[in-house]
Each structure stands twice: as C-alpha cells, then as structure tokens.
Chain A
Amino acid sequence: EVRLVESGGGLVQPGRSQRLSCAASGFTFNDYTMHWVRQVPGKGLEWVASIGWNGADTDYANSVKGRFTISRDNAKNSLHLQMSSLRPEDSGLYFCAKDVGVQSLVVFDSWGQGTLVTVSS
C-alpha cells in the first residue's frame, strides 16, 4: 500500500524559510516522479512543484519559482520542499503526491494527508 507522510509544516513569519518533507513507502520510490500540491483550506488545489525520478528534472509553478526548491533522496525514500522568502499567500495545506505512471504525466494518484503551513507575523 502506498503511504505518503508529510511533515515540517507550522507557523512561520513572512520572509522566513521552512522545509517540508515527505516519507514514502509501499512502492518503488525511485521509479516515480513526485509532486507537491497545495490547498488553501476551504479553497481549490494548486500544483506547486514536480521532480523527476532521479532528481535531475524539476518544474515549478510561477508563483513559487525562484523561492521554492524541490528535492528528493532516493536512498531514504524521501521528498522535500525547501521554501524561502515565504509570503502570506503561501499559506495552505501542502500535499505530497505520487505520479500515476513511471513515465511522468503530472497526474496525482496517491496523496499524503498534508502538512499545514501558516505564514503570518
């Protein structure tokens, strides 16, 4: 069974940094592209970033490009999102998600339960 468990959320001041992590199990982690998707509670979903199976290819939404860095450690089956220069509009529930296919489609077939990030002074 695929299991994704996010951690690292919390209250952070504007302009500061925060690092999110996702522990993956139940599948061959280094076969799959992985993603971060966020959701403002009660609102819609926003794709944030993606990383290819070996970490060489990354992709970001315009809203986070240059401030967020996605990375992975295949030896530890973990995914990370380093967030810097945080803004109040970055607040939300951050989900770690697995791609549906070995060949990346940017379709999210397994999700964690999310970790909540609140950017506020």
Chain B
Amino acid sequence: ETMMTQSPGTLSVSPGERATLSCTASENININLAWYQQKTGQAPRLLFYGASIRATGFPARFSASGSGTQFTLTITSLESEDFAVYYCQQYHKWPYTFGQGTTLEIK
C-alpha cells in the first residue's frame, strides 16, 4: 500500500500570508496525485489533480506542484475561506490512499 504523509499536521498562518503544505508518497506515483479541501461539516472538494491541474472554482492563488514522491500545495495571500483541512490522495495504484490531512488554521 502506498503511504501518503502530509506535513505539517497543523499550520498556523495569518490572513494575507502564504501557506505551503507538503505531501510525500512512500513510492513513486508520477503525477497521479489529487488535493482536496474540506471545511468543517462539509464534504471534501476537489482542488487539484494530475498534481497541478486546478479544479473548477478555485482561484489562482492556489497552486500545486510535484512529481514522483514529493508534492506541494501553495496558497498565497490567504483569505478567511481558505482555512480548512487539506488532504492529498494518490490514484497511481490500488489501494487508493489519502494522507492524514493538514489543518490550516488562522494565526
């Protein structure tokens, strides 16, 4: 099973600043990685897939990159609605696994 590890577990950032979230795969997954945003009491929402393809509805202050085993999600100029839990997920091989999540909280 491909293990997905996200860091940090919790990230405290002030509005207007930049947040960088990391996701590491235990083996090479090429670019078969997705990111999801989940707000309290809501279903997750697809943010990126193909490691860097932004999903519909998210602004350009969200960006993502990486390949192989190392991936990064960057959010610049944080706004209040960006504070949430972010999950990465690999779909390179069965079983399809998620990271444990990074909580992005207001500092």
Count A/B pairs, Cβ under 8 Å: 51
The interface stretch among A19-27, A80-88, A106-114 is A106-114
Contact A106 to B87, CB < 8 A, known contacts A44-B98, A113-B43: no
Considering the chains assembled together, what is the distance between the CA atoms of A114 and B44 in angstroms?
10
Residues of A within 8 A of B101 (CB): 44-45
Asked if A47 is at the interface of the complex by the 8 Å CB criterion, the answer is yes
Contact between chains at A111 and B98 (CB < 8 Å): no
Contact A45 to B87, CB < 8 A, known contacts A62-B95, A95-B43: yes
Considering the chains assembled together, what is the distance between the CA atoms of A113 and B91 in angstroms?
22
Asked if B36 is at the interface of the complex by the 8 Å CB criterion, the answer is yes
Interface of B is mostly: loop
Contact between chains at A45 and B49 (CB < 8 Å): no
Excluding A107-B46, A113-B42, 14 further A-B contacts by CB distance (< 8 Å) are: A44-B101, A45-B87, A47-B89, A47-B96, A95-B44, A100-B49, A105-B49, A107-B34, A108-B34, A108-B36, A108-B89, A109-B46, A112-B43, A113-B43
Tier of interface size on chain B: 20 to 34
Considering the chains assembled together, what is the distance between the CA atoms of A105 and B48 in angstroms?
13
Asked if B45 is at the interface of the complex by the 8 Å CB criterion, the answer is yes
Give 16 pairs: A residue, B residue, CB < 8 Å, sorted on A: A44-B98, A44-B99, A44-B101, A47-B89, A95-B43, A95-B44, A100-B46, A100-B49, A107-B34, A107-B46, A107-B89, A108-B36, A108-B44, A109-B46, A111-B44, A113-B42
Contact between chains at A107 and B43 (CB < 8 Å): no
Residues of B within 8 A of A44 (CB): 87, 98-101
Considering the chains assembled together, what is the distance between the CA atoms of A121 and B87 in angstroms?
32
